[in-house]
Structures are given as structure tokens and as C-alpha cells.
């Protein structure tokens, strides 16, 4: 199948690209290579003749029209986005431009392309918009998990920009008939995640003997899904999901942030035995403004309608993830001195 992926040099997009190439598809990866894009994540896939890369910004209408013309896709997986909540608080502008305007440009380009297809190809075409559970806002401890019918109540500029993008996709389905679906997923983890995100940050700071920062009192709850399970979910939604429908994906793995960080520390203790405990490096830092208390996802629709459930438990997934980062210290930092510390902190007794 010919597949157009946006954001394929990012964390989740690259996992999707690797999987699609392994499955024998023809993949065109459109990525602007912002600070979050890293060609190393698709290096192996890029050596395949089935892979084509287009460096372009999704908010560039002419470039997106060209990308559609160059790839003639049967499927579009739209993942390109600004994705880091903290950055959205410091500078929301680029989040609006990429996540909102960029998605509208993608939808316009997709619609023009789709309208030009022969009838049978028009029927089969699918546009998958990959979104987040953060659009639903926050839950209290006793609240039921988010369903696809939970009203949108985004609290961060990131979540608001994604919520707006979801509404645009919905409107393009309702108004123009574009065969699109929306997926809303909980926190992903796995190899090749940007070092600024929680799990890579915990590993990097632990190994290099620094403080391990945890926001507030660490009581915020997140649900964690292994990235390859998310990839399978979005691929299944593309094939068997109903257009115009939303599907939630989650890992059935709610943890407080402090609980997750302690688990990672204990796993690191086991994997790198020596004196002391990584937990001793945990430090609570000033909370993020507007920090949502709890996200929890009801993925019942994905199970009932798509036959999708997460296959990797958090314990298995975390262990495999830590093994990957331990084997790739150069991923966690581009600073040679820090890379050296990542490998040596424990032996040097630097903690």
C-alpha cells in the first residue's frame, strides 16, 4: 500500500514508519525536522527502496500538494505536531501554527487529492489523524476514564491546539465527506523518544548522577501505552475503523508520576547493580502551571470494534525500554561529556 506519514522522524511516527516498511508498504515520510525530528530513528527504514523522504512543513500548502502528488497515498497517517506540553506553555504560537493551521493545510491537501481520485480509490482512501487523550482535560481520582464521548476540555495550549485540530478533522468529514478518523491516545513510551520527555529524562538524570526532577508532589496520574501497541492501534483503525469515528487507545496502566519514577529507579538498580539507590536522586520541583491531575482512557470501543487491546504490559514495556536506552546512551544526550557520564556514573560512584 502507498502510505503518507507526517512527522515520521518523531517518536511515534518513526515507530510507525519502521513498522510499515517492515510490513512491505511504500512509505513517504513528510517531516520538517524540527528539534524533535531525528533521522537516526528511521535510518534502517531509509535504506529501503520503499521509503521516500520529503523535508517540508505541513503548514506549507504548496509543499503538501506536492507531497500528495509525489506519493499518491492510499492512507495518510497525520502525526506531525509540536508535542511537548512545557514548550506550549512557554511559546504557544508554534503549536497553533503546526497543530492547528498545519492540520487544516493537510486536510485541504488531502481533500483536493481525494476528490481527484477515481471512485474505487476514493472509497478506499483513509486519513488517520493521531491525537491525544489530553483533549478531554483532567479527571479527579474517582472519575470514570475518558470515553470517545467525553466532552473536550483542554487545559494546556498543546491540548487546546490538538483539540482544535480534532474539531477541524471532524468538520472536514461532516462538511466535505473526507474519509478521516481520529485516534486519541494516552502517554506513549518506548525507544527513540525525545530526551526531553519524562521517561528518557528520568533515565538520563539517574545515570548521569543528577537530580531526577518530579513535578509537584508527583501525584499526577497518567496512563502509559507502549509505542508499538499504539502503532498497531492506528494501523488497525485505518483498515477496519469507521470513517468519522473516534477511537481511544490506552494501556490500562495508570500510574502516579512518582510511582512510575520509582519503578524506573528500581529497574535501573536491578539492571546496573552497585552501591546506593537511584531513588535517592529524586527531587520534587515546582509544578507545571495548569497541570492536569489525572488522565485515564477507556479503550473499550477499540476493543469491541477493532479487536485492539494493548499487548505489552507496563512492566515488560518499561524493562525493554530501559534496556534500549542503556544500549543507546548517545540517544539521551548529544553532549559527549554527558554521554560519558551516562555510561560511567555508577562505576565512578558519582551519585
Nearer to ligand NAD, 71 or 131 (CB): 131
Letters for 309-348 (x = contact with ligand NAD by CB under 6 A, - = none) are: ----------------------------------------
Angstrom CA distances, 298 to 100, 133, 236, 264, stand at 26, 10, 17, 25
151 φ/ψ angles, rounded to the nearest 5 degrees: -60, 145
Element (H, E) at 75: strand 75-78
Nearer to ligand NAD, 57 or 228 (CB): 57
Q: Which of 3, 58, 206, 238 binds ligand NAD (CB under 6 A)?
A: 58
Based on the residue annotation, tell me whether 23 is a catalytic residue of this protein.
no
Residue found under cell 561529556: 337
Based on the residue annotation, tell me whether 51 is a catalytic residue of this protein.
no
Q: Which of 1, 2, 34, 300 binds ligand NAD (CB under 6 A)?
A: 34
Instruction: At 134, list the grid cell.
Output: 489530553
Based on the residue annotation, tell me whether 90 is a catalytic residue of this protein.
no
Answer for the pair 176, 301: CB distance below 8 angstroms, yes or no. Answer: no
Answer for the pair 168, 101: CB distance below 8 angstroms, yes or no. Answer: no
Q: Which of 28, 71, 132, 333 binds ligand NAD (CB under 6 A)?
A: 132
- 33 touching ligand NAD, by CB under 6 A: yes
Instruction: At 250, list the grid cell.
Output: 490506552
Nearer to ligand NAD, 7 or 154 (CB): 7
Rounded distance between C-alpha atoms, residue 49 and residue 190, angstroms: 26
Rounded distance between C-alpha atoms, residue 279 and residue 68, angstroms: 49
Pairing of strands 180-185, 126-132: parallel
- Please, what is the minimum distance in Å from the beta carbon of residue 36 to ligand NAD? 3
Task: Report the residue number whose CB is nearest to ligand NAD.
Answer: 10
Within residues 156-175, the interface with ligand NAD by CB under 6 A covers: 162
Catalytic residues: 133-134, 158
Binding-site ranges for ligand NAD (CB under 6 A)? 6-7, 9-13, 31-34, 36-37, 57-59, 79-83, 98, 102, 130-132, 162, 185, 187-188, 194
Amino acid at each position: 500500500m502507498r502510505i503518507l506519514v507526517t512527522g515520521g522522524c518523531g517518536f511515534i511516527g518513526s515507530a510507525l514508519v519502521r513498522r510499515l516498511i517492515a510490513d512491505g508498504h511504500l512509505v513517504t515520510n513528510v517531516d520538517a525536522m524540527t528539534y524533535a525530528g531525528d533521522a537516526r530513528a528511521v535510518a534502517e527504514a531509509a535504506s529501503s527502496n520503499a521509503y521516500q523522504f520529503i523535508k517540508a512543513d505541513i503548514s506549507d500548502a504548496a509543499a503538501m500538494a506536492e507531497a500528495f502528488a509525489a506519493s499518491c497515498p492510499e492512507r495518510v497517517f497525520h502525526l506531525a505536531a509540536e508535542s511537548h506540553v512545557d514548550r506550549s506553555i512557554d511559546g504557544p504560537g508554534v503549536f497553533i501554527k503546526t497543530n492547528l493551521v498545519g492540520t487544516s493545510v493537510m486536510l485541504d491537501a488531502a481533500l483536493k487529492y481525494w476528490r481527484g481520485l477515481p471512485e474505487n480509490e476514493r472509497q478506499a482512501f483513509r486519513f488517520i489523524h493521531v491525537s491525544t487523550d489530553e483533549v478531554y482535560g483532567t479527571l479527579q481520582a474517582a472519575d470514570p476514564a475518558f470515553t470517545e464521548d467525553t466532552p473536550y476540555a483542554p487545559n494546556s495550549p498543546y491540548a487546546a491546539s490538538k483539540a482544535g485540530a480534532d474539531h477541524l478533522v471532524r468538520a472536514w468529514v461532516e462538511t466535505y465527506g473526507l474519509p478521516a478518523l481520529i485516534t486519541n491516545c494516552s502517554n506513549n513510551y518506548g525507544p527513540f523518544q525525545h530526551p526531553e520527555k519524562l521517561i528518557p529524562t528520568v533515565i538520563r538524570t539517574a545515570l548521569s548522577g543528577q537530580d531526577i526532577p518530579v513535578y509537584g508532589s508527583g501525584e499526577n496520574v497518567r496512563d502509559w501505552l507502549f509505542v508499538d501497541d499504539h502503532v498497531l492501534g492506528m494501523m488497525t483503525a485505518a483498515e477496519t475503523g469507521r470513517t468519522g469515528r473516534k477511537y481511544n487507545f490506552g494501556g490500562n496502566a495508570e500510574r502516579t508520576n512518582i510511582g512510575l519514577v520509582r519503578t524506573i529507579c528500581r529497574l535501573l538498580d536491578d539492571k546496573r547493580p552497585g552501591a546506593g539507590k537511584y531513588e535517592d536522586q529524586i527531587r520534587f520541583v515546582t509544578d507545571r502551571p495548569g497541570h492536569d491531575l489525572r488522565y485515564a482512557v477507556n479503550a473499550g470501543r477499540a476493543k469491541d470494534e477493532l479487536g485492539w487491546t494493548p499487548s505489552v504490559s507496563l512492566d515488560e514495556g518499561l524493562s525493554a525500554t530501559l534496556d534500549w536506552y542503556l544500549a543507546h546512551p548517545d540517544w539521551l544526550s548529544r553532549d559527549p561529556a554527558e554521554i560519558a557520564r551516562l555510561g560511567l556514573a555508577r562505576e565512578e560512584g558519582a551519585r
